[in-house]
Structure 1
Amino acid sequence: MTGDDLKVRLKIELPGAVRLGYGKVDLLRAVEEHRSISAAARSMGMSYRRAWLLIDELNKCFSEPVIETSIGGRAHGGATLTPTGIRIIEIYQTARDKVQDAIKDELDQLAASLAENPQAD
């Protein structure tokens, strides 16, 4: 195993005690893929209410919403990422990649110290 096999999970503290981390970013990606908050939540094993609350928190945190929703009708409703939502994903991924690169030596050291066949209890 090498440090490349280890993954950094970044959490960014935003004002108002809001955290932007891999979970919310994964939720944004799932909404982008499924074009639906409920389908995105299901794909992540999360309740619709939990997904909606996380998205609402992000929508209130940024100057522009990260997701826009439409209600029923011919298009059957749905949700789409806004340009801000797309940009938040890009910024987060770039930051995570930079951190991963910056601590490569330490990750290599950790990887070298790991047991060959770790067993969970």
Structure 2
Amino acid sequence: MASIRHDPATRGTAGERVDVPGAGTRSDRHGRAYTRAGAGMPEEIRYYDIPEVAKLIRVSARWLADECRAGRVEHVHIARKRRFTAAQVETLMAANTVKAAPTSVETARTRAEKNLRRRMLP
């Protein structure tokens, strides 16, 4: 039976974990570098499911699922589940945001005069 060896460089005198620079990166027997699970990775990534995102952006869950299936919406597809990260929800919102067209002062003035004339005529 193989024994589990703990790296003494990452343990303190009482056995608690100690952060050591470079302790997260290792190399395998072929010299390829790899990182231990959790080293350099974010603590937790929050994933939102289709009903949560649909409720947030006020569309039906069916529409959002259809858009995901068609490949028109960026999402994560793992184990037959479709999920969204916060960044993907922001991207979805930004991609579907309609910005107002800039109007020039002259165009606005012409439109206002036209509306006034229309109201003045009996």
TM-score by length of structure 2 reads 0.28
Larger gyration radius, structure 1 or structure 2: 2
Higher relative contact order (CA 8 A, sep 6+): 1
